[in-house]
Amino acid sequence: MKQINVGDYWGRGRFRKQIREIRQLSNGWYLIKTENAKSKQDFKVKVVFALEPQRSMTPKHAHFLIDFYGKLCADGVKARNVLNAICEVWQDREPDEVLSRYAEGCKGLPGYPLEYILNALNWILEQEDINFTSRPERKQRELDEICVKQGIIAPVNRKGSQLAISLFCDVANGTHPVEALLKANLDISPRGR
């Protein structure tokens, strides 16, 4: 049976990157961190569905935001548990610890498993902080206001990832996910246009 290890390469051709870290999920998927180009600390997150043939994708904020919206439409109380769990991971709590506390309160929701959400977002949010430089003060105040409506305050040194968290908060505040993404000035256009 094929395995993947830290130091192996994932992908094909020019997209082939060295694996820095691996996390296997209980459903058999793997989350991997691979090298990336913005800086020495930069990395890319991939979710691997199958090793042979290779099947993977790069999870994006929009994927998790649409998933959260589906959960919100299905059950607002349980979806709030998902948001709380995401925020606890954002505040540097271990995904497994958070999962053990929130799994029962999120049971039965459609879409991505909570284990995948917490582990993938943990790395994605970390990557956002690594690559963050600055944002205009007006935009920072706007993000703070969106988060405060959900009772969430940005941890120190997490301003880069706050944009992603503010998207979840904006949707929880009643904004449609497409509108929230456009308002955040994130490109949601299809590839290849």
- Asked if 129 and 160 touch (Cβ cutoff 8 Å), the reply is yes
Q: Spell 105-135 as b/e; 16+ CB within 10 A means b.
A: ebeebebbbbbbbbbbbbbbbbbbbbeeeee
pLDDT at site 189: 54
Checking if the pLDDT of 185 tops 70, the result is: yes
- Whole-number pLDDT of residue 92: 94
Is the model's pTM score more than 0.85?
A: yes
Give per-residue pLDDT as tens, 137-147.
999 999 999 99
One-letter amino acid at 88 equals E
* pLDDT given at position 184: 85
Across 79-89, average pLDDT: 98
